[in-house]
Chain A
Amino acid sequence: MTDFIKIENLVFDYIKNEDGHTIRAIDDVSFTVERGSFTAVIGQNGSGKSTLAKNINGLLMPTSGKIYVDGLDTSDEANIWDIRQKVAMVFQNPDNQIVSSIVEDDVAFGPENLGIDPTEIRTRVDEALVGVEMYEHRKKAPHLLSGGQKQRIAIAGAVAMEPECIVFDEPTAMLDPKGRKEVLEVIRKLNAKGITVLLITHFMEEAAQADKIAVMDDGVLKMVGTPDEIFLRAEELKALSLGVPPAVDLSMKLRERGIEVPEGILDIDEMVEYLCR
Protein backbone atom coordinates (compact mmCIF):
# COMPACT_ATOMS: atom_id res chain seq x y z
CA MET A 1 0.00 0.00 0.00
CA THR A 2 1.14 3.52 -0.71
CA ASP A 3 1.17 6.38 1.75
CA PHE A 4 -1.84 8.65 1.41
CA ILE A 5 -1.02 11.06 4.22
CA LYS A 6 2.58 11.73 5.15
CA ILE A 7 3.30 13.84 8.22
CA GLU A 8 6.91 14.98 8.60
CA ASN A 9 8.21 16.53 11.83
CA LEU A 10 4.94 18.38 12.44
CA VAL A 11 5.06 21.11 15.07
CA PHE A 12 2.02 23.21 15.94
CA ASP A 13 1.90 26.11 18.40
CA TYR A 14 -1.25 27.77 19.67
CA ILE A 15 -0.97 31.45 20.47
CA LYS A 16 -2.30 31.71 23.98
CA ASN A 17 -2.70 35.46 24.41
CA GLU A 18 -1.84 38.82 22.86
CA ASP A 19 1.73 39.00 24.13
CA GLY A 20 2.60 36.10 21.86
CA HIS A 21 2.94 33.45 24.54
CA THR A 22 2.55 30.10 22.78
CA ILE A 23 1.56 26.61 23.76
CA ARG A 24 2.98 23.68 21.86
CA ALA A 25 0.08 21.41 20.92
CA ILE A 26 2.05 19.10 18.63
CA ASP A 27 5.75 18.48 19.09
CA ASP A 28 7.71 16.90 16.24
CA VAL A 29 5.24 14.25 15.10
CA SER A 30 5.97 12.09 12.05
CA PHE A 31 3.85 9.26 10.76
CA THR A 32 2.07 8.01 7.69
CA VAL A 33 -1.42 6.82 6.83
CA GLU A 34 -1.59 4.22 4.09
CA ARG A 35 -4.15 4.43 1.31
CA GLY A 36 -7.25 2.44 2.14
CA SER A 37 -6.19 1.77 5.73
CA PHE A 38 -8.02 2.32 9.00
CA THR A 39 -5.79 4.23 11.38
CA ALA A 40 -6.74 5.33 14.88
CA VAL A 41 -5.12 8.15 16.82
CA ILE A 42 -5.70 7.79 20.52
CA GLY A 43 -4.81 10.03 23.41
CA GLN A 44 -6.06 11.87 26.47
CA ASN A 45 -7.83 15.23 26.27
CA GLY A 46 -5.24 17.84 25.39
CA SER A 47 -2.86 15.32 23.84
CA GLY A 48 -2.97 17.21 20.52
CA LYS A 49 -4.88 14.57 18.57
CA SER A 50 -7.66 16.94 17.39
CA THR A 51 -5.13 19.59 16.46
CA LEU A 52 -3.36 16.95 14.40
CA ALA A 53 -6.62 16.16 12.59
CA LYS A 54 -7.25 19.81 11.73
CA ASN A 55 -3.72 20.14 10.34
CA ILE A 56 -4.32 17.36 7.85
CA ASN A 57 -6.84 19.19 5.68
CA GLY A 58 -5.42 22.64 6.11
CA LEU A 59 -7.89 23.99 8.67
CA LEU A 60 -4.77 24.71 10.69
CA MET A 61 -1.34 25.34 9.22
CA PRO A 62 1.80 23.71 10.65
CA THR A 63 4.11 25.98 12.63
CA SER A 64 6.91 23.89 11.18
CA GLY A 65 7.19 20.56 9.43
CA LYS A 66 5.20 19.34 6.45
CA ILE A 67 2.07 17.35 5.71
CA TYR A 68 1.54 15.77 2.32
CA VAL A 69 -1.89 14.52 1.28
CA ASP A 70 -1.68 12.34 -1.80
CA GLY A 71 1.57 14.15 -2.57
CA LEU A 72 0.08 17.65 -2.12
CA ASP A 73 1.67 19.98 0.42
CA THR A 74 -0.99 21.39 2.80
CA SER A 75 0.95 24.60 3.41
CA ASP A 76 0.59 25.57 -0.26
CA GLU A 77 -2.53 27.77 -0.63
CA ALA A 78 -3.07 26.53 -4.19
CA ASN A 79 -3.63 22.96 -2.97
CA ILE A 80 -6.04 23.69 -0.16
CA TRP A 81 -9.36 23.01 -1.94
CA ASP A 82 -8.00 19.89 -3.65
CA ILE A 83 -6.88 18.59 -0.29
CA ARG A 84 -10.20 19.33 1.38
CA GLN A 85 -12.00 17.50 -1.40
CA LYS A 86 -9.69 14.49 -0.96
CA VAL A 87 -9.84 14.55 2.84
CA ALA A 88 -13.30 15.16 4.25
CA MET A 89 -13.81 15.65 7.95
CA VAL A 90 -16.43 14.76 10.52
CA PHE A 91 -16.34 16.65 13.80
CA GLN A 92 -17.23 15.89 17.39
CA ASN A 93 -20.40 17.88 17.91
CA PRO A 94 -23.14 16.73 15.52
CA ASP A 95 -25.17 19.91 16.06
CA ASN A 96 -22.42 22.34 15.19
CA GLN A 97 -21.55 20.95 11.75
CA ILE A 98 -24.97 20.68 10.12
CA VAL A 99 -25.56 23.73 7.95
CA SER A 100 -29.08 23.30 6.64
CA SER A 101 -32.41 22.76 8.33
CA ILE A 102 -33.29 19.85 6.05
CA VAL A 103 -31.29 16.61 6.07
CA GLU A 104 -30.84 16.16 2.31
CA ASP A 105 -29.98 19.81 1.76
CA ASP A 106 -27.25 19.49 4.32
CA VAL A 107 -25.77 16.44 2.63
CA ALA A 108 -25.83 18.41 -0.64
CA PHE A 109 -23.89 21.32 0.87
CA GLY A 110 -20.41 19.92 0.13
CA PRO A 111 -21.06 18.88 -3.50
CA GLU A 112 -22.81 22.22 -4.10
CA ASN A 113 -19.67 24.01 -2.95
CA LEU A 114 -17.66 21.91 -5.39
CA GLY A 115 -19.88 23.05 -8.27
CA ILE A 116 -21.12 19.55 -9.11
CA ASP A 117 -23.96 19.20 -11.63
CA PRO A 118 -27.41 19.16 -9.88
CA THR A 119 -28.46 15.71 -11.18
CA GLU A 120 -25.12 14.28 -10.08
CA ILE A 121 -25.58 15.89 -6.64
CA ARG A 122 -29.00 14.23 -6.35
CA THR A 123 -27.47 10.77 -7.01
CA ARG A 124 -24.60 11.37 -4.61
CA VAL A 125 -26.90 12.60 -1.84
CA ASP A 126 -29.26 9.63 -2.22
CA GLU A 127 -26.38 7.15 -2.28
CA ALA A 128 -24.68 8.75 0.72
CA LEU A 129 -27.93 8.72 2.72
CA VAL A 130 -28.61 5.09 1.84
CA GLY A 131 -25.03 4.28 2.85
CA VAL A 132 -25.55 5.61 6.37
CA GLU A 133 -29.11 4.24 6.54
CA MET A 134 -30.71 7.65 6.86
CA TYR A 135 -32.50 7.76 3.51
CA GLU A 136 -35.99 7.61 5.01
CA HIS A 137 -35.17 10.66 7.14
CA ARG A 138 -34.00 12.78 4.20
CA LYS A 139 -36.82 15.35 4.44
CA LYS A 140 -36.63 15.81 8.20
CA ALA A 141 -35.18 18.64 10.26
CA PRO A 142 -31.85 17.61 11.84
CA HIS A 143 -32.72 18.98 15.28
CA LEU A 144 -35.51 16.39 15.59
CA LEU A 145 -33.08 13.45 15.18
CA SER A 146 -30.94 11.64 17.75
CA GLY A 147 -27.24 12.35 18.20
CA GLY A 148 -26.23 9.16 16.40
CA GLN A 149 -28.53 9.97 13.50
CA LYS A 150 -27.21 13.52 13.25
CA GLN A 151 -23.66 12.24 13.25
CA ARG A 152 -24.53 9.80 10.44
CA ILE A 153 -25.91 12.74 8.44
CA ALA A 154 -22.64 14.58 8.98
CA ILE A 155 -20.87 11.45 7.68
CA ALA A 156 -23.19 11.34 4.64
CA GLY A 157 -22.29 15.01 4.04
CA ALA A 158 -18.62 14.03 3.96
CA VAL A 159 -19.24 10.94 1.79
CA ALA A 160 -21.20 12.97 -0.79
CA MET A 161 -18.03 14.92 -1.54
CA GLU A 162 -16.53 11.60 -2.70
CA PRO A 163 -13.33 11.98 -0.73
CA GLU A 164 -10.53 9.44 -0.71
CA CYS A 165 -10.08 9.78 3.01
CA ILE A 166 -12.31 10.82 5.92
CA VAL A 167 -10.86 12.15 9.15
CA PHE A 168 -13.18 11.53 12.09
CA ASP A 169 -12.43 13.91 14.96
CA GLU A 170 -13.89 12.12 18.01
CA PRO A 171 -17.19 11.46 16.23
CA THR A 172 -18.63 9.40 19.08
CA ALA A 173 -17.55 11.53 22.06
CA MET A 174 -20.98 13.14 22.49
CA LEU A 175 -23.12 10.10 21.69
CA ASP A 176 -24.84 7.46 23.78
CA PRO A 177 -23.66 3.82 23.47
CA LYS A 178 -26.26 3.05 20.78
CA GLY A 179 -25.26 6.06 18.69
CA ARG A 180 -21.59 5.16 19.12
CA LYS A 181 -22.19 1.68 17.82
CA GLU A 182 -24.15 2.94 14.79
CA VAL A 183 -21.49 5.47 13.88
CA LEU A 184 -18.65 3.00 14.27
CA GLU A 185 -20.42 0.50 12.05
CA VAL A 186 -20.78 3.14 9.35
CA ILE A 187 -17.08 4.01 9.66
CA ARG A 188 -16.07 0.35 9.24
CA LYS A 189 -18.37 -0.01 6.25
CA LEU A 190 -16.84 3.04 4.56
CA ASN A 191 -13.37 1.67 5.16
CA ALA A 192 -14.40 -1.65 3.62
CA LYS A 193 -15.44 0.29 0.51
CA GLY A 194 -11.89 1.56 0.17
CA ILE A 195 -12.06 4.95 1.89
CA THR A 196 -9.01 5.70 4.00
CA VAL A 197 -10.14 6.30 7.57
CA LEU A 198 -8.34 8.26 10.25
CA LEU A 199 -10.23 7.98 13.52
CA ILE A 200 -9.36 10.30 16.37
CA THR A 201 -10.73 8.91 19.61
CA HIS A 202 -10.20 8.42 23.28
CA PHE A 203 -12.05 5.10 23.42
CA MET A 204 -9.63 2.17 23.33
CA GLU A 205 -12.41 -0.19 22.17
CA GLU A 206 -12.82 1.92 19.03
CA ALA A 207 -9.09 2.16 18.37
CA ALA A 208 -8.86 -1.64 18.72
CA GLN A 209 -10.76 -2.03 15.45
CA ALA A 210 -8.15 -0.14 13.42
CA ASP A 211 -5.29 -1.60 11.37
CA LYS A 212 -2.86 0.75 13.03
CA ILE A 213 -2.93 2.77 16.24
CA ALA A 214 -0.97 5.93 16.97
CA VAL A 215 -0.82 6.90 20.64
CA MET A 216 -0.35 10.57 21.45
CA ASP A 217 0.44 12.17 24.76
CA ASP A 218 1.10 15.83 25.46
CA GLY A 219 1.71 16.61 21.79
CA VAL A 220 4.21 13.80 21.34
CA LEU A 221 3.69 10.59 19.38
CA LYS A 222 4.43 7.85 21.91
CA MET A 223 3.75 4.63 20.03
CA VAL A 224 2.69 3.49 16.58
CA GLY A 225 1.76 -0.07 15.73
CA THR A 226 -0.93 -2.63 15.12
CA PRO A 227 -3.48 -3.03 17.95
CA ASP A 228 -1.77 -6.28 19.01
CA GLU A 229 1.60 -4.59 19.27
CA ILE A 230 0.18 -1.63 21.15
CA PHE A 231 -1.80 -3.67 23.67
CA LEU A 232 1.26 -5.74 24.54
CA ARG A 233 2.61 -2.55 26.06
CA ALA A 234 -0.26 -2.33 28.54
CA GLU A 235 1.93 -0.99 31.34
CA GLU A 236 3.07 1.94 29.20
CA LEU A 237 -0.53 2.64 28.19
CA LYS A 238 -1.56 2.70 31.84
CA ALA A 239 1.19 5.21 32.52
CA LEU A 240 -0.50 7.43 29.90
CA SER A 241 -3.83 6.70 31.67
CA LEU A 242 -5.14 4.96 28.58
CA GLY A 243 -5.76 1.36 29.62
CA VAL A 244 -6.43 -1.51 27.26
CA PRO A 245 -9.83 -2.80 26.11
CA PRO A 246 -11.55 -5.15 28.60
CA ALA A 247 -11.00 -8.25 26.44
CA VAL A 248 -7.27 -7.59 26.19
CA ASP A 249 -7.09 -6.94 29.91
CA LEU A 250 -8.88 -10.24 30.56
CA SER A 251 -6.58 -12.25 28.32
CA MET A 252 -3.53 -10.79 30.05
CA LYS A 253 -4.93 -11.76 33.44
CA LEU A 254 -5.72 -15.25 32.16
CA ARG A 255 -2.17 -15.59 30.88
CA GLU A 256 -0.81 -14.56 34.27
CA ARG A 257 -2.76 -17.46 35.76
CA GLY A 258 -1.24 -19.81 33.23
CA ILE A 259 -4.23 -20.13 30.90
CA GLU A 260 -3.16 -20.13 27.26
CA VAL A 261 -4.93 -17.32 25.42
CA PRO A 262 -3.67 -16.41 21.95
CA GLU A 263 -2.74 -12.82 21.21
CA GLY A 264 -5.00 -10.90 18.90
CA ILE A 265 -8.25 -11.22 20.80
CA LEU A 266 -9.43 -7.65 20.97
CA ASP A 267 -13.12 -7.66 21.78
CA ILE A 268 -15.49 -9.48 24.07
CA ASP A 269 -17.22 -11.42 21.28
CA GLU A 270 -13.95 -12.96 20.08
CA MET A 271 -13.07 -13.77 23.67
CA VAL A 272 -16.39 -15.50 24.28
CA GLU A 273 -15.97 -17.46 21.07
CA TYR A 274 -12.46 -18.57 22.02
CA LEU A 275 -13.26 -19.49 25.63
CA CYS A 276 -16.39 -21.46 24.71
CA ARG A 277 -14.60 -23.55 22.13
Chain B
Amino acid sequence: MAIRDITLGQYYPGSSWIHKLDPRVKIMATILYIVALFVVDDFIGFAIAAAGLASVIIISKVPLSYILRGLKPVFLIISFTLIINMFMIKGEVLVSFWIFEITREGLRTAIFMAIRLILLIIGSSLLTLTTKPISLTDGIEALLSPFKKIGLPAHDLAMMMTIALRFIPTLMEETDKIMKAQQARGADFESGNLMSRAKALIPILVPLFISAFRIAHDLAMAMEARCYGCDIKRTRMNGMKFAGRDVAASILYVLFLAAIILQRVLM
Protein backbone atom coordinates (compact mmCIF):
# COMPACT_ATOMS: atom_id res chain seq x y z
CA MET B 1 0.00 0.00 0.00
CA ALA B 2 1.14 3.50 -0.79
CA ILE B 3 -0.53 5.15 2.23
CA ARG B 4 2.68 4.87 4.21
CA ASP B 5 4.58 6.94 1.64
CA ILE B 6 2.45 10.04 2.00
CA THR B 7 4.65 12.83 3.27
CA LEU B 8 1.91 15.44 3.09
CA GLY B 9 1.13 16.51 6.65
CA GLN B 10 4.10 14.67 8.19
CA TYR B 11 6.76 16.19 10.42
CA TYR B 12 10.40 16.06 9.33
CA PRO B 13 12.49 16.25 12.54
CA GLY B 14 15.23 18.85 12.45
CA SER B 15 16.68 21.79 14.34
CA SER B 16 16.99 24.39 11.62
CA TRP B 17 16.13 28.04 11.98
CA ILE B 18 12.79 27.38 10.32
CA HIS B 19 12.04 24.49 12.69
CA LYS B 20 12.64 26.74 15.68
CA LEU B 21 10.37 29.58 14.56
CA ASP B 22 7.26 30.29 16.57
CA PRO B 23 4.41 28.22 15.08
CA ARG B 24 2.16 31.30 15.04
CA VAL B 25 4.60 33.05 12.71
CA LYS B 26 4.79 30.02 10.44
CA ILE B 27 1.03 29.54 10.27
CA MET B 28 0.39 33.20 9.46
CA ALA B 29 3.21 33.16 6.90
CA THR B 30 1.72 30.10 5.22
CA ILE B 31 -1.75 31.62 5.05
CA LEU B 32 -0.37 34.88 3.62
CA TYR B 33 1.76 32.93 1.15
CA ILE B 34 -1.32 31.15 -0.15
CA VAL B 35 -3.12 34.48 -0.53
CA ALA B 36 -0.05 35.95 -2.27
CA LEU B 37 -0.07 33.08 -4.77
CA PHE B 38 -3.49 34.22 -5.91
CA VAL B 39 -2.39 37.83 -6.16
CA VAL B 40 0.49 36.92 -8.45
CA ASP B 41 -0.43 36.76 -12.11
CA ASP B 42 2.74 36.65 -14.22
CA PHE B 43 6.01 34.78 -14.52
CA ILE B 44 8.13 37.30 -12.64
CA GLY B 45 5.71 37.20 -9.73
CA PHE B 46 5.81 33.41 -9.64
CA ALA B 47 9.59 33.54 -9.87
CA ILE B 48 9.73 35.75 -6.76
CA ALA B 49 7.28 33.47 -4.94
CA ALA B 50 9.26 30.37 -5.94
CA ALA B 51 12.56 31.97 -4.96
CA GLY B 52 11.15 32.80 -1.53
CA LEU B 53 9.96 29.23 -1.11
CA ALA B 54 13.28 27.83 -2.33
CA SER B 55 15.25 29.85 0.20
CA VAL B 56 12.97 28.62 3.01
CA ILE B 57 13.48 25.03 1.84
CA ILE B 58 17.26 25.51 1.82
CA ILE B 59 17.30 27.01 5.32
CA SER B 60 14.96 24.30 6.65
CA LYS B 61 17.38 21.55 5.48
CA VAL B 62 14.45 19.31 4.54
CA PRO B 63 15.59 17.25 1.52
CA LEU B 64 13.90 18.39 -1.70
CA SER B 65 13.16 14.80 -2.74
CA TYR B 66 11.25 14.35 0.51
CA ILE B 67 9.17 17.46 -0.18
CA LEU B 68 8.50 16.48 -3.79
CA ARG B 69 7.24 13.08 -2.67
CA GLY B 70 4.39 14.96 -1.03
CA LEU B 71 3.29 16.11 -4.48
CA LYS B 72 2.72 12.57 -5.70
CA PRO B 73 -0.77 12.04 -4.28
CA VAL B 74 -1.97 15.36 -5.72
CA PHE B 75 -0.35 14.82 -9.11
CA LEU B 76 -3.67 13.64 -10.54
CA ILE B 77 -5.45 16.79 -9.38
CA ILE B 78 -2.75 19.01 -10.86
CA SER B 79 -2.82 17.29 -14.24
CA PHE B 80 -6.62 17.36 -14.25
CA THR B 81 -6.64 21.12 -13.61
CA LEU B 82 -3.98 21.59 -16.25
CA ILE B 83 -5.97 19.73 -18.90
CA ILE B 84 -9.34 21.26 -18.07
CA ASN B 85 -7.92 24.79 -18.15
CA MET B 86 -6.02 24.13 -21.34
CA PHE B 87 -9.08 23.09 -23.34
CA MET B 88 -11.93 24.99 -21.77
CA ILE B 89 -10.78 28.61 -22.01
CA LYS B 90 -11.75 30.46 -25.19
CA GLY B 91 -9.36 32.76 -26.98
CA GLU B 92 -6.72 32.86 -29.70
CA VAL B 93 -6.38 29.31 -31.03
CA LEU B 94 -2.86 27.86 -31.08
CA VAL B 95 -3.48 24.22 -31.93
CA SER B 96 -6.71 22.51 -32.82
CA PHE B 97 -7.54 18.89 -33.48
CA TRP B 98 -10.89 17.09 -33.69
CA ILE B 99 -13.18 18.98 -31.31
CA PHE B 100 -10.36 20.22 -29.06
CA GLU B 101 -8.69 23.58 -29.22
CA ILE B 102 -5.75 24.84 -27.24
CA THR B 103 -5.82 28.60 -26.90
CA ARG B 104 -3.06 30.99 -25.87
CA GLU B 105 -5.14 32.17 -22.89
CA GLY B 106 -5.99 28.57 -21.98
CA LEU B 107 -2.37 27.50 -22.02
CA ARG B 108 -1.34 30.51 -19.96
CA THR B 109 -4.03 29.94 -17.33
CA ALA B 110 -3.31 26.22 -17.24
CA ILE B 111 0.41 26.64 -16.66
CA PHE B 112 -0.12 29.36 -14.05
CA MET B 113 -2.70 27.24 -12.30
CA ALA B 114 -0.33 24.28 -12.18
CA ILE B 115 2.54 26.39 -10.84
CA ARG B 116 0.20 27.96 -8.32
CA LEU B 117 -1.00 24.56 -7.09
CA ILE B 118 2.51 23.15 -6.86
CA LEU B 119 3.79 26.17 -4.91
CA LEU B 120 0.70 26.08 -2.72
CA ILE B 121 1.16 22.42 -1.83
CA ILE B 122 4.88 22.70 -1.25
CA GLY B 123 4.37 25.86 0.78
CA SER B 124 1.75 24.38 3.04
CA SER B 125 3.52 21.02 3.40
CA LEU B 126 6.63 22.94 4.45
CA LEU B 127 4.62 24.19 7.42
CA THR B 128 3.80 20.69 8.64
CA LEU B 129 7.25 19.35 7.70
CA THR B 130 9.03 21.87 9.91
CA THR B 131 6.54 22.18 12.77
CA LYS B 132 5.95 19.54 15.44
CA PRO B 133 2.27 18.55 15.37
CA ILE B 134 1.94 19.64 18.97
CA SER B 135 3.36 23.12 18.31
CA LEU B 136 1.20 23.35 15.22
CA THR B 137 -1.95 22.78 17.23
CA ASP B 138 -0.66 25.11 19.97
CA GLY B 139 -0.16 27.77 17.29
CA ILE B 140 -3.63 27.23 15.85
CA GLU B 141 -5.11 27.40 19.33
CA ALA B 142 -3.29 30.67 20.05
CA LEU B 143 -4.35 32.19 16.74
CA LEU B 144 -7.96 31.12 17.22
CA SER B 145 -8.17 32.25 20.84
CA PRO B 146 -9.46 35.76 19.99
CA PHE B 147 -12.55 33.99 18.62
CA LYS B 148 -13.19 32.33 22.00
CA LYS B 149 -15.21 35.43 22.86
CA ILE B 150 -17.79 34.55 20.22
CA GLY B 151 -17.94 30.99 21.53
CA LEU B 152 -15.39 29.20 19.36
CA PRO B 153 -13.96 26.24 21.35
CA ALA B 154 -10.35 26.94 20.29
CA HIS B 155 -8.78 24.58 22.80
CA ASP B 156 -11.05 21.66 21.97
CA LEU B 157 -10.44 22.11 18.25
CA ALA B 158 -6.68 22.11 18.85
CA MET B 159 -6.93 18.98 21.02
CA MET B 160 -8.97 17.24 18.33
CA MET B 161 -6.28 18.03 15.77
CA THR B 162 -3.52 16.79 18.07
CA ILE B 163 -5.32 13.50 18.59
CA ALA B 164 -6.17 13.12 14.91
CA LEU B 165 -2.47 13.54 14.02
CA ARG B 166 -1.42 11.16 16.80
CA PHE B 167 -3.77 8.42 15.60
CA ILE B 168 -2.97 8.50 11.87
CA PRO B 169 -0.24 5.83 12.24
CA THR B 170 -2.36 3.79 14.66
CA LEU B 171 -5.31 3.72 12.29
CA MET B 172 -3.01 2.88 9.37
CA GLU B 173 -1.70 -0.11 11.29
CA GLU B 174 -5.26 -1.06 12.06
CA THR B 175 -6.19 -0.84 8.36
CA ASP B 176 -3.19 -2.95 7.48
CA LYS B 177 -4.18 -5.56 10.06
CA ILE B 178 -7.77 -5.72 8.84
CA MET B 179 -6.67 -5.98 5.19
CA LYS B 180 -4.23 -8.76 5.97
CA ALA B 181 -6.84 -10.63 7.99
CA GLN B 182 -9.24 -10.40 5.07
CA GLN B 183 -6.62 -11.28 2.47
CA ALA B 184 -5.78 -14.34 4.55
CA ARG B 185 -9.39 -15.37 4.10
CA GLY B 186 -9.28 -14.82 0.35
CA ALA B 187 -10.34 -11.18 -0.07
CA ASP B 188 -8.99 -9.59 -3.24
CA PHE B 189 -8.13 -5.88 -3.19
CA GLU B 190 -5.79 -5.70 -6.13
CA SER B 191 -7.62 -6.94 -9.21
CA GLY B 192 -10.79 -5.89 -10.97
CA ASN B 193 -11.89 -2.51 -12.20
CA LEU B 194 -12.23 0.65 -10.15
CA MET B 195 -15.80 -0.19 -9.11
CA SER B 196 -15.05 -3.66 -7.81
CA ARG B 197 -11.95 -2.41 -6.02
CA ALA B 198 -13.98 0.33 -4.36
CA LYS B 199 -16.55 -2.28 -3.33
CA ALA B 200 -13.81 -4.42 -1.82
CA LEU B 201 -12.98 -1.51 0.48
CA ILE B 202 -16.36 -1.58 2.24
CA PRO B 203 -15.53 -4.69 4.29
CA ILE B 204 -12.39 -2.85 5.44
CA LEU B 205 -14.14 0.37 6.37
CA VAL B 206 -16.78 -1.21 8.59
CA PRO B 207 -14.37 -2.91 11.02
CA LEU B 208 -12.07 0.10 10.80
CA PHE B 209 -14.85 2.39 11.98
CA ILE B 210 -15.74 0.02 14.78
CA SER B 211 -12.16 -0.13 15.98
CA ALA B 212 -11.84 3.65 15.67
CA PHE B 213 -14.79 4.01 18.04
CA ARG B 214 -13.27 1.47 20.41
CA ILE B 215 -9.96 3.37 20.39
CA ALA B 216 -11.81 6.65 20.98
CA HIS B 217 -13.59 5.13 23.98
CA ASP B 218 -10.34 3.79 25.48
CA LEU B 219 -8.56 7.08 24.88
CA ALA B 220 -11.36 9.11 26.46
CA MET B 221 -11.06 6.94 29.59
CA ALA B 222 -7.28 7.32 29.67
CA MET B 223 -7.54 11.11 29.24
CA GLU B 224 -10.13 11.40 31.99
CA ALA B 225 -7.97 9.27 34.26
CA ARG B 226 -5.19 11.81 33.68
CA CYS B 227 -7.46 14.66 34.83
CA TYR B 228 -8.24 16.06 31.38
CA GLY B 229 -11.22 18.36 31.69
CA CYS B 230 -10.74 19.26 35.34
CA ASP B 231 -11.50 22.84 36.36
CA ILE B 232 -7.89 23.94 36.82
CA LYS B 233 -6.47 26.04 33.98
CA ARG B 234 -4.14 23.91 31.87
CA THR B 235 -0.48 24.85 31.64
CA ARG B 236 1.98 23.86 28.90
CA MET B 237 5.41 22.36 29.37
CA ASN B 238 6.81 24.08 26.30
CA GLY B 239 5.05 27.41 26.12
CA MET B 240 5.42 29.51 22.97
CA LYS B 241 7.83 32.41 23.11
CA PHE B 242 8.06 35.11 20.51
CA ALA B 243 11.85 35.31 20.22
CA GLY B 244 14.25 37.57 18.36
CA ARG B 245 14.42 35.26 15.38
CA ASP B 246 10.62 35.47 15.07
CA VAL B 247 10.83 39.25 14.79
CA ALA B 248 13.60 38.92 12.19
CA ALA B 249 11.64 36.32 10.23
CA SER B 250 8.50 38.47 10.33
CA ILE B 251 10.36 41.52 8.98
CA LEU B 252 11.96 39.48 6.19
CA TYR B 253 8.60 38.02 5.35
CA VAL B 254 6.86 41.39 5.19
CA LEU B 255 9.60 42.56 2.79
CA PHE B 256 8.99 39.45 0.67
CA LEU B 257 5.24 40.14 0.54
CA ALA B 258 5.93 43.77 -0.26
CA ALA B 259 8.09 42.69 -3.20
CA ILE B 260 5.26 40.54 -4.55
CA ILE B 261 2.68 43.30 -4.17
CA LEU B 262 4.99 45.94 -5.67
CA GLN B 263 5.76 43.74 -8.61
CA ARG B 264 2.04 43.25 -9.21
CA VAL B 265 1.28 46.95 -8.94
CA LEU B 266 4.18 48.03 -11.14
CA MET B 267 3.66 45.51 -13.93
Contacts and interface: CB of A to CB of B under 8 A. Distances in A.
Interface of A: 54, 57, 59, 81, 84-85, 88-89, 91, 93, 95-102, 104-105, 108-118, 121-122, 125, 139, 141-143, 154, 157-158, 161
Contacts, number: 108
B227 A100 contact: no
Given A112-B236, A116-B235, 16 more contacts: A54-B221, A81-B230, A81-B231, A85-B227, A89-B222, A91-B218, A96-B170, A96-B218, A96-B222, A97-B219, A98-B166, A108-B236, A109-B228, A118-B235, A118-B237, A118-B238
Interface of B: 11, 13, 132-134, 162-163, 165-166, 169-170, 173, 214-215, 218-219, 221-239
A22 B166 CA distance: 36
A89 B162 CA distance: 22
Contacts of A108: 236-237
A104 B165 CA distance: 16
B219 A96 contact: yes
A121 B234 CA distance: 12
A82 to B, nearest CB: 9
Contacts of B237: 104-105, 108, 111-112, 118, 121-122, 125
Contacts of A154: 222
Which 7 interchain pairs have the tightest Cβ spacing?
A97-B222, A96-B218, A115-B232, A108-B237, A110-B226, A143-B169, A81-B230
Nearest to A107: B237
Contacts of A101: 11, 133-134, 162, 165-166
B218 A84 contact: no
15 contacts: A59-B224, A84-B226, A85-B227, A91-B218, A91-B225, A99-B162, A100-B162, A101-B133, A101-B165, A101-B166, A105-B134, A108-B237, A110-B227, A113-B227, A113-B228
Nearest to A122: B237
B206 to A, nearest CB: 20
Given A109-B228, A143-B169, A115 B218 contact: no
A276 B161 CA distance: 60
Nearest to A139: B13
Nearest to B166: A101
Given A81-B227, A100-B166, A161-B227, A59 B221 contact: yes
Most A-side CB within 10 Å, residue of B133, B134, B239 = B134
A84 B166 CA distance: 24
A93 B218 contact: yes
Contacts of B165: 101
Nearest to B232: A115
A118 B239 contact: yes
Given A81-B227, A81-B230, A115 B235 contact: yes
A84 B234 contact: no
Most A-side CB within 10 Å, residue of B163, B214, B222 = B222
Contact of B234 (A102, A113, A122): A113
A114 B230 CA distance: 8
A53 B162 CA distance: 28
A98 B235 CA distance: 18
Contacts of A121: 235, 237
Nearest to B13: A139
Contacts of A88: 225-226
Contacts of B235: 111-112, 115-118, 121
A223 B235 CA distance: 44
Contacts of B223: 99, 109
A170 to B, nearest CB: 12
B6 to A, nearest CB: 15
